[in-house]
Structures are given as structure tokens and as C-alpha cells.
């Protein structure tokens, strides 16, 4: 169940990349690099190009080659390999990202998403941003950067847990380049899927180049319905990107990009389980639903970026317009079916229609120093405007066929439209006190205004036409002194603050005083100490990070006096250690190991209507997690190279979301093993791969009480064992 605006809807709400980028370092070295050395990683985490080892904070950079090696089609294929990262997904396109344990449910995102210079997704808690995380296909990506810990200074709203940044490949005038690949994959307990991707770069003139890419993916299903329907969670994902870059002279660069993606899913990846034992009640990979549950998502990003190099300073402007649309059905029969059957005297199931519209305009202007010297600085301004809408409708359907019943259509029809507008100014700098000592610091002030309108109709929706307004401002900061005993080692301490905007609750004039009219921003303050080092002539990379995060004024979604509202309540802290080691002991062999220990708990009781007591662990955060990966490449003949690798991911025991009926449910630890092997000859690549070799049945998410029929609950299950093959070409 997604965010509702009334109580009857509220009732249903229910690592192989490391800080020094060990995963990214598995990429094949550039021709100029020593094949026995780990590749040097360059990132833009601080909105300027830097070596990753010089950035005084925890950043994982997942390269395009690493995405290809892991056959990463979706967020789950790479995000869960990042230290201290977790993903809670119930259906394709409906996932919650968690970094360093910063999660208590709710409807506002705690991890921000960027596509190049474009913040994507909603900044407000009135548009389901927490569970509508963009899940972009990795076609034609240069890398994915994952910034752990608060990023409020440079990236603003919703980055109180961290940030995921997709960096796309820019057009180049250096020649025609093209690539294509085809994949086939057979999923155990399910059917067969396939995908195709292609990209091409074309210089139009000496100053203008165009790059285009496209993909189509047929995702196999593996969940069956009790009525005999097989593989009901299958779907398709397709889209592409076109980018043009003009550089009329050495100083001026203009880049225009359009990205489109559609994600269509026919059902959820949930099975029905006993609410106490979490054992399947209908057999493995089986669910019972009265109404079907398709979900269609559309992502659109339009961006124009321009930069001008004045010599000692560079001016950059990024103008973006982005949209996200969802059109979904959800079976709400477990929640409302018995009630409506008793009220109307006929067997009824309930289908909930949900439509979400997010439209966002952003403008950012930055001026940054380029000349070196004792101070590197960046100052900028940011503006964003959102128009969002959530439309929900409850319709009665025939039990058990799921056929819509016109006489029971529109039992409730509720819409929440909202406007979000934000202005921000920020500054960031690094003072080079000596060749070895630096201090990086920054600050940002953000002010937002929000308006919301609720309309409701229907026998269960009532008659509503209410408005609300809110306004708030937040200052965030970061300070990070660092020491470099040599060029390949950085020791740092970092203190940083992040925030999530507050907003209005839409209520009728006569609502009780106990129901809050507005909810405030919540904030995280991160204290971090770390060391990054490349040793043995850059054959060994080591990173160790310790962190402590205070989370205050936590935003929660609940029901107060029968009104579904956002509230603030309680506090939490997350503390832990992240460690990683990457080594190239032999020519062609790379071994990477990372692990994280995260202790994330409430430090004060949450409101009783939400559940959760002081000392309870924050939901879906494993205390222990780790990844081991091995990759080996060697020539087989003068023209053929062979490669093989495997990875092992361990996700420790976790606790589910707070539930006032059952409390938190304990989720057992599980492991996943992936492997691949293949050959390259000339421009061609042939490869075979297996995912989840041991056919592990890991639980990613557990629904609230009554989220399935007959008092059962839902459990989202990881994809079963699958085998596949890839044919690729690049020139």
C-alpha cells in the first residue's frame, strides 16, 4: 500500500564496490597503465573532477566494466554490493534505498538520486519518493557513484543517508564508436527473459558530436498465483538516451541530453507467508490475489548543461526538467475485502488504483576555481520547482475472479496534489595548508515553500476539499580535515549534516488539535574517520572507515485520530565500521573483499501509533554484511583472451519494519553467489553466467499485518537461481 491521504488508505501502508572502489578497479586497465596495477579512479563527488583517493569522504565508484561483469540490469544487481547499503523492493520500479541504516519506513526518501547534474525524484514527502526510487538501466553509463553519509552541503534535500549518482558517457568528437550486446537468461522456478542494448557515438563536425543508446529488456517472472497463473511478476523495460555535445572553442562546452525509460511490471515479487514463522503458506514462490497488480513506470529527464572556462574560474549552468509517472493496481482485498463484503452483503475483493505524477524543474549555477593554489572553491545557487499528484481509487471486484464490478466502482476517490519550491545557496572549499594538510569545508542554506490540496469523493472517501501550506529552512554543513603522508594515502575526519524537508498535512478545518498541521525537517549529523591507501606500487588498495550518525526529529507516516499524516517523532543513531581490501597478487587476477558492521537503533521511543521502542534496530539494516569477488583474465591464444570470476554476497540478519500488531519480524541472513566466464576475440565477447548459484531464498521485505488474504503477510523474495549467456560486440 502506498501513501494515502485518509485513514482508510493509511491502514494499508505498510558489495563489491567499496570506498576506494574495489569493484570499479576490476575494470581492464587503460593501455597506458600497468596491467599489474589497480586502475586509478576519478569521480565528481564534490562537483569537481578528483582522484577518488583524494576525496575526504566515503564514495564507491562502480565502473561501466564492473556493471557489465556483474550483468547489472537493475539497482539490486549492484547497489546491494556497496558497503552499508540495503535495498527493499516489492516490485520492479518500487524500491527503497538505505545507506548506513538510515531508514524507519515513511514516504520521504533518505537517499537522493542524481543523473549527471539532474536531481531526479521528488524532494517532498508528499509524492511517495521513498518507494519510487529511479531504477535506471545501465546502458551507456560511465560509472555509478554512491556517496555514503549525509550530502546536504552540495546535493541538498533527501541526501541525509547518502546519494546515488548515475554518470553517463559524454559524446566525443574523437571518432565513431559503437557497441551492442544480446542476453538470454533462464530463471529457476520461472521463465526465460532476454535483453538487447546498443550505443553509438558519431562526430558530426570537429566541434559537435552525438551519442545515442537504446535498450529493451524482457524481465522473466518467477512468482505464481494460486489460481494457476504462472510467472506473474514478469515485465519489460525499454528506453534510451540521446546526447549532443558542442564545443565551438576551448572555453565553451554545451551538452543537451534526453533520457527516456519505461518500466512495465505485471506483478509483485512477493509470496504469501505465515505472519509469525514467515514460512510459505501456499508453497514457495506462490501468492493468492483477487485483483491483478500491474505497475507501469515512466522516467523522463531533459537536461541542458553549459560551462565556460574563464581561466582561473569556470562557470557552469545546468537546467533540467524531469518527470516520473506511475500507473499501478494493488490488491487491497486482505485489508478491505471482509469489511466491504459484510457491508454490502456480496463477496467482494478490492482493487486500489494508484497514479503518481512527479514533474520537476531545476536550475543550478556554479562558479568554481580552476587555477590551483592554496584554495580550491565552489559557490553556487540552486532552484527547484515540483508539481506532484497522488491519485488513489478503491473499486470493488468479484471474489474470487477479480472481475471489476461497475456497481462497486469508485468506492473511494482521493487525490493529493502538491507544489514544492526551493531556493538554496551553497559554498564549498578546500584549503591547502601545506603539501600534506588540507581542510575541506562547506555550507548550504535551503528554504522551501509547499502547498497541498486534497480532494475526496465516494462512499468511503467522504467529501473533502482541503488546502494546506508550509514553509521551512535548513542550514547544512560539512568539515573534513585530511592528511596525506604521500600521494597514495589519505587520512581524514569528516563532520557533515543532511536533511529531509518538512511539509504540510492536509486536514479539514475541524480536525482535532492533536493532528499536526505541519511536519518538520529531520536531520542527520555524521561523524566519520577514515583512511584510504594504495600500496605495493598500486597493487593493493585498502580503506577503513568508522562512522557515527545522529538522526533527529525522524519523519514517520501514520494515522492520528483517523487522519493519515506525516509526523515527527523519536531519534536514532547509526554507528559502524566499513572495511575493504583489493589486491592484484598476479597478472590478470583481482581479489576484492569488503565488509560492514552497522549498529542502527532507536535512541527514543517512536510514537505508539507507529511502533518501535528505544533500542529497537532500524528496519532492514543488517548488522553484518560482506562481499568477496574474484576476477581472472589471461590470454588463451594470440587472438583470444579468457576471463572468469565469481562473487559472494552475505546479507546478515535484519529486522522488518515496525508493526503495531506483530512488532518487528526477524529476517534470517542469506548469501548469494554469482559467477561468469567467457572469451573475447577481436571486437567480440561471448560469456556465460549464473546468478544466485545456490538458489538462496532471501527475504527482502515483509508486508504489514493483513497485506495478504486470510491474515497472512507478504514476503518479497530475491530472484531464484538463473543461467544466462551474452554475446557482445564493440568497435
Here the CATH number for the domain that contains residue 403 is: 2.40.170.20
163-184 average pLDDT score: 95
Q: For residue 348, what are the CA distances in angstroms to 11, 342, 455, 457, 685?
A: 18, 9, 25, 20, 54
Name the residue among 61, 155, 90, 731 with its Cα closest to residue 424. Answer: 155
User: Which pLDDT band holds residue 25 (cuts at 50, 70, 90)?
Assistant: very low
Name the residue among 428, 558, 578, 713 with its Cα closest to residue 58. Answer: 578
The phi, psi pair for 335, rounded to 5°, reads -90, -45
- The DSSP bridge partners found for residue 236 are 218, 264
Q: Residue 27 above 50 pLDDT?
A: no
Domain that residue 222 falls in: 7-730
170-178 average pLDDT score: 95
- The DSSP bridge partners found for residue 595 are 579, 626
Question: What pLDDT is recorded for position 34?
Answer: 62
Residue 638 located in a structural domain? yes
Mean pLDDT of the chain: 91
Inter-residue contact 676 to 689 (CB < 8 Å): yes
Name the residue among 437, 519, 430 with its Cα closest to residue 479. Answer: 430
Residue 2 located in a structural domain? no
| Chain segment 708-730, per-residue pLDDT in tens | 998 899 999 999 999 999 999 99
Residue 259 located in a structural domain? yes
11-22 average pLDDT score: 32
Q: Residue 16 above 60 pLDDT?
A: no
CA distance 538 to 560: 58
> Alpha-carbon Rg of the chain, whole angstroms?
25
Question: What cell was used for 202?
Answer: 558519431
286-315 average pLDDT score: 96
User: Which pLDDT band holds residue 682 (cuts at 50, 70, 90)?
Assistant: very high
Burial, 559: exposed, middle or buried (Cβ in 10 Å; 0-12, 13-18, 19+)? buried
CA distance 589 to 410: 62
Quick one: DSSP state of residue 617? B
User: Which pLDDT band holds residue 704 (cuts at 50, 70, 90)?
Assistant: confident
CA distance 96 to 93: 10
Residue 57 located in a structural domain? yes
Question: What cell was used for 10?
Answer: 493509511
pTM, full prediction? 0.92
| Chain segment 203-257, per-residue pLDDT in tens | 999 999 999 999 999 999 999 998 889 999 999 999 999 999 999 999 999 999 9
Q: Residue 69 above 90 pLDDT?
A: no
User: Which pLDDT band holds residue 70 (cuts at 50, 70, 90)?
Assistant: confident
Inter-residue contact 501 to 521 (CB < 8 Å): yes
Residue 1 located in a structural domain? no
User: Which pLDDT band holds residue 541 (cuts at 50, 70, 90)?
Assistant: very high
Q: Which helix (H) or strand (E) holds 154?
A: helix 152-155
Name the residue among 593, 438, 529 with its Cα closest to residue 57. Answer: 529
Question: What pLDDT is recorded for position 41?
Answer: 86
Question: What pLDDT is recorded for position 474?
Answer: 94
What residues contact residue 78 under an 8 Å CB cut-off, 6+ apart? 16, 17, 23, 62, 66, 67, 70, 72, 138, 144
Q: Which of these ranges, 194-198, 335-339, 472-476, 533-537, has the smallest mean pLDDT?
A: 335-339
User: Which pLDDT band holds residue 515 (cuts at 50, 70, 90)?
Assistant: confident
Q: What domain count does the chain have?
A: 1
52-59 average pLDDT score: 94
Q: What is the number of alpha carbons within 13 Å of residue 402 lying toward its C-beta?
A: 15
Cα end-to-end distance, the chain, whole Å: 47
| Chain segment 349-405, per-residue pLDDT in tens | 999 999 999 999 999 999 999 977 899 999 999 999 999 999 999 999 999 889 999
Question: What pLDDT is recorded for position 255?
Answer: 98
CA 36 to chain centre: 34
Q: Which helix (H) or strand (E) holds 334?
A: helix 333-344
CA distance 190 to 162: 35
SS3 for 36-105, per residue? CCCCCCEECCCCCCEEHHHCCCCEEEEEHHHHHHCCCCCHHHHHHHCCCEEEEEEECCEEEEEECCCCCC
User: Which pLDDT band holds residue 19 (cuts at 50, 70, 90)?
Assistant: very low
Q: Which residue has the higher pLDDT, 3 or 444?
A: 444
Residue 170 located in a structural domain? yes
Question: What pLDDT is recorded for position 64?
Answer: 86
Q: Which of these ranges, 366-375, 543-552, 654-663, has the smallest mean pLDDT?
A: 654-663
Percentage of residues of the chain with pLDDT beyond 70: 95
Q: Which helix (H) or strand (E) holds 344?
A: helix 333-344
Burial, 452: exposed, middle or buried (Cβ in 10 Å; 0-12, 13-18, 19+)? buried
Question: What pLDDT is recorded for position 658?
Answer: 87
CA 428 to chain centre: 25
| Chain segment 28-39, per-residue pLDDT in tens | 334 434 667 888
Question: What pLDDT is recorded for position 661?
Answer: 78
144-155 average pLDDT score: 94
Percentage of residues of the chain with pLDDT beyond 90: 77
Q: Residue 6 above 80 pLDDT?
A: no
Amino acid at each position: 500500500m502506498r501513501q494515502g491521504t485518509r485513514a482508510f488508505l493509511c491502514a494499508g501502508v505498510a558489495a563489491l564496490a567499496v570506498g576506494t572502489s574495489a569493484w570499479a578497479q576490476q575494470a581492464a586497465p587503460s593501455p597506458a597503465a600497468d596491467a599489474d596495477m589497480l586502475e586509478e579512479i576519478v569521480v565528481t563527488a564534490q562537483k569537481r573532477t578528483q582522484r577518488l583517493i583524494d576525496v575526504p569522504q566515503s564514495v564507491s565508484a562502480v565502473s561501466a566494466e564492473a556493471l557489465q561483469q556483474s550483468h547489472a540490469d537493475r539497482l539490486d544487481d549492484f547497489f546491494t554490493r556497496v558497503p552499508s547499503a540495503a535495498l527493499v523492493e516489492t516490485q520492479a520500479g518500487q524500491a527503497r534505498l538505505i545507506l548506513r541504516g538510515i531508514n524507519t519506513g515513511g514516504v520521504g526518501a533518505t537517499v537522493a538520486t542524481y543523473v549527471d547534474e539532474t536531481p531526479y525524484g521528488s524532494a517532498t514527502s508528499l509524492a511517495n519518493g521513498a518507494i519510487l526510487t529511479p531504477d535506471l538501466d545501465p546502458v551507456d553509463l560511465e560509472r555509478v557513484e554512491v556517496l555514503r553519509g549525509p550530502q546536504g552541503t552540495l546535493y541538498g534535500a533527501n541526501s541525509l543517508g547518502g546519494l546515488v549518482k548515475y554518470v553517463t558517457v559524454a559524446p566525443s568528437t574523437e571518432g565513431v564508436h559503437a557497441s551492442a550486446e544480446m542476453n538470454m537468461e533462464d530463471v529457476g522456478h520461472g521463465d526465460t527473459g532476454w535483453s538487447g542494448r546498443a550505443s553509438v557515438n558519431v562526430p558530426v563536425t570537429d566541434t559537435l558530436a552525438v551519442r545515442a543508446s537504446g535498450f529493451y529488456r524482457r524481465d522473466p517472472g518467477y512468482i505464481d498465483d494460486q489460481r494457476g497463473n504462472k510467472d506473474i511478476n514478469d515485465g519489460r523495460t525499454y528506453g534510451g538516451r540521446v546526447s549532443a555535445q558542442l564545443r565551438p572553442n576551448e572555453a565553451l562546452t554545451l551538452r543537451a541530453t534526453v533520457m527516456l525509460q519505461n518500466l512495465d511490471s505485471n506483478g509483485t515479487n512477493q509470496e504469501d507467508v505465515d505472519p509469525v514463522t514467515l514460512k510459505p503458506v501456499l508453497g514457495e514462490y506462490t501468492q493468492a490475489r483477487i485483483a491483478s497488480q500491474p505497475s507501469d513506470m515512466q522516467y523522463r529527464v531533459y537536461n541542458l548543461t553549459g560551462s565556460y572556462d574563464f581561466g582561473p574560474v569556470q562557470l557552469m549552468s545546468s537546467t533540467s526538467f524531469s518527470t516520473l509517472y506511475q500507473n499501478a493496481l494493488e490488491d487491497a482485498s486482505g485489508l478491505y475485502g471482509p469489511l466491504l463484503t459484510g457491508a454490502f452483503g456480496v463477496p467482494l475483493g478490492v482493487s486500489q488504483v494508484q497514479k503518481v505524477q512527479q514533474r520537476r524543474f531545476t536550475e543550478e549555477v556554479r562558479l568554481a576555481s580552476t587555477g590551483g593554489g592554496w584554495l580550491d572553491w565552489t559557490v553556487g545557487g540552486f532552484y527547484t520547482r515540483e508539481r506532484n499528484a497522488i491519485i488513489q481509487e478503491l473499486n470493488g471486484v468479484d471474489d474470487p475472479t477479480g472481475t471489476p464490478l461497475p456497481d462497486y466502482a469508485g468506492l473511494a476517490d482521493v487525490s493529493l496534489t502538491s507544489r514544492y519550491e526551493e531556493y538554496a545557496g551553497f559554498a564549498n572549499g578546500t584549503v591547502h595548508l601545506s603539501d600534506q594538510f588540507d581542510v575541506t569545508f562547506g555550507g548550504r542554506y535551503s528554504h522551501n515553500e509547499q502547498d497541498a490540496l486534497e480532494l475526496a469523493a465516494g462512499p468511503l472517501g467522504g467529501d473533502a476539499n482541503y488546502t494546506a501550506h508550509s514553509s521551512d529552512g535548513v542550514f547544512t554543513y560539512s568539515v573534513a580535515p585530511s592528511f596525506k603522508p604521500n600521494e597514495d594515502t589519505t587520512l581524514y575526519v569528516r563532520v557533515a549534516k543532511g536533511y529531509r524537508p518538512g511539509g504540510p498535512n492536509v486536514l479539514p478545518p475541524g480536525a482535532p488539535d492533536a493532528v499536526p498541521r505541519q511536519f518538520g525537517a529531520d536531520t542527520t549529523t555524521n561523524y566519520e574517520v577514515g583512511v584510504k591507501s594504495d600500496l605495493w606500487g598500486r597493487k593493493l588498495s585498502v580503506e577503513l572507515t568508522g562512522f557515527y550518525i545522529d538522526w533527529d526529529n525522524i519523519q514517520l507516516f501514520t494515522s492520528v485520530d483517523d487522519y493519515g499524516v506525516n509526523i515527527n517523532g523519536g531519534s536514532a543513531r547509526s554507528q559502524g565500521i566499513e572495511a575493504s581490501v583489493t589486491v592484484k597478487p598476479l597478472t590478470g587476477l583481482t581479489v576484492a573483499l569488503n565488509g560492514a558492521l552497522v549498529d542502527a537503533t532507536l535512541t527514543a521511543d517512536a510514537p505508539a501509533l507507529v511502533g518501535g521502542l528505544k533500542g529497537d534496530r532500524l528496519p532492514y539494516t543488517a548488522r553484518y554484511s560482506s562481499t568477496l569477488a574474484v576476477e581472472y583474465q589471461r590470454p588463451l591464444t594470440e587472438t583470444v583472451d579468457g576471463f572468469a570470476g565469481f562473487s559472494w554476497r552475505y546479507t546478515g540478519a535484519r529486522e522488518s519494519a515496525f508493526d503495531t500488531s506483530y512488532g518487528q519480524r526477524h529476517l534470517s541472513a542469506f548469501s548469494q553467489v554469482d559467477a561468469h566466464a567467457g572469451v573475447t576475440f577481436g571486437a567480440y565477447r561471448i560469456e556465460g553466467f549464473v546468478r544466485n548459484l545456490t538458489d538462496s531464498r532471501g527475504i527482502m521485505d515483509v508486508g504489514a499485518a493483513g497485506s495478504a488474504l486470510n491474515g497472512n503477510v507478504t514476503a518479497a523474495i530475491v530472484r531464484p537461481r538463473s543461467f544466462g549467456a551474452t554475446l557482445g560486440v564493440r568497435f
